[in-house]
């Protein structure tokens, strides 16, 4: 359903950017766990909150012109401050 909606709205680039962002995040998370990168491992939650915030703000919020998604960015970024 997502792909058909994206195709109708002509936002296929948005879907592909999200896929790339999430795959990069998964790759970084895997490397962090398998290589025992302590500092990155301790900050995985802020890392993922920041990546989601970037995706919401830079790509989705502006492409769809949604204030709700721009507000989601605020909650993700403020969540980074609340995690510690």
Is pLDDT above 80 for 3?
no
Q: Domain spans of the chain?
A: 2-82
> Residues 64-81: pLDDT tens digits?
888 888 888 888 888 888
CA–CA separation, 14 vs 24, rounded Å?
A: 15
**What are 24-48's pLDDT values in tens digits?**
999 999 999 999 888 888 888 888 9
- CA dist 20 and 82 (Å) reads 27
**Residue matched to tokens 């490397």:** 31
């Amino acid at each position: 359903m997502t792909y058909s909606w994206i195709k109708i709205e002509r936002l296929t680039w948005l879907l592909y950017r999200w896929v790339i962002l999430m795959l990069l995040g998964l790759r970084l998370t895997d490397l962090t766990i398998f290589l025992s990168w302590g500092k990155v491992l301790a900050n995985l939650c802020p890392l993922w909150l920041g990546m989601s915030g970037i995706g919401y703000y830079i790509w989705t919020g502006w492409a769809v012109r949604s204030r709700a998604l721009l507000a989601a960015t605020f909650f993700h970024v403020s969540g980074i401050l609340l995690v510690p």
